[in-house]
Amino acid sequence: MQRVTITLDDELMADLDRIIEARGYQNRSEAIRDLARSGLEQAAVEVADSKICVAALVYVYDHEARELPKRLTAGFHEHHDLAQATLHVHLDEHNCMEVAVLKGLGKDVQSFANGVIAERGVRHGHVVYVPATESIAHAHAHAHGIAHSHGRELGHGHSHTPTRKPTRRVRKR
């Protein structure tokens, strides 16, 4: 491990100390290491235009904004290859929150997420990028709709093919 000396302004140090307290870190070094890892992972995915990534797009919007739900739905249908799943929550009479799981090339995911967040009527939006492991990058869906990767190809020794429980025969007497 290497020792590094950094200078932080008082406000940033106070914010860091609040995080340390809230998350229960034993010391500042642990907190700074975790924050650095997180920032580096986020930055690496954001600039990895040609690599597969997974992201969670979280946004709040006014469902009464003119044509917004229709535009959002159309956008997701146009990018059905990126959108893996969406959770929709009614927050109050006017506001909805959606969490969309996206998967695809970093540049495509980022472009689509930025477009959703920029829509008129979307009030808050944030994207969390997760680097895709080799197995995530190669997973795919078949006609039965279950996404999986082939264990033999990736060498982890088991299949992700769903199995059915054997039916039990009852003999009539």
Distance CA(108)–CA(134), nearest Å, equals: 19
Task: Give the residue-averaged pLDDT of 89-99.
Answer: 93
105 or 39, greater pLDDT: 105
Which CATH architecture is the domain 50-136 placed in?
Answer: 2-Layer Sandwich (3.30)
Residues 30-41: b if buried by 16+ CB within 10 A, e if exposed: ebbeeeeeeeee
Q: What is the pLDDT of residues 1-41, one digit of tens each?
A: 888 888 888 998 999 999 889 989 888 888 888 888 877 77
CA-closest candidate to residue 113, choices 96, 99, 97, 132: 99
Q: Phi first, then psi: what are they for 96, rounded to 5°?
A: -125, 150
Written out in words, the top-level CATH class of the domain with range 10-46 is mainly alpha
DSSP 3-state of 9:
coil
* Residue 109 and residue 52 in contact, taking contact as beta carbons nearer than 8 Å: no
* All CATH 1.10.1220 domain ranges in the chain, comma separated: 10-46
88 or 173, greater pLDDT: 88
* All CATH 3.30.70.1150 domain ranges in the chain, comma separated: 50-136
Task: Give the residue-averaged pLDDT of 141-149.
Answer: 48
Cα–Cα distances in Å, from 45 out to 11, 40, 60, 88? 28, 9, 24, 26
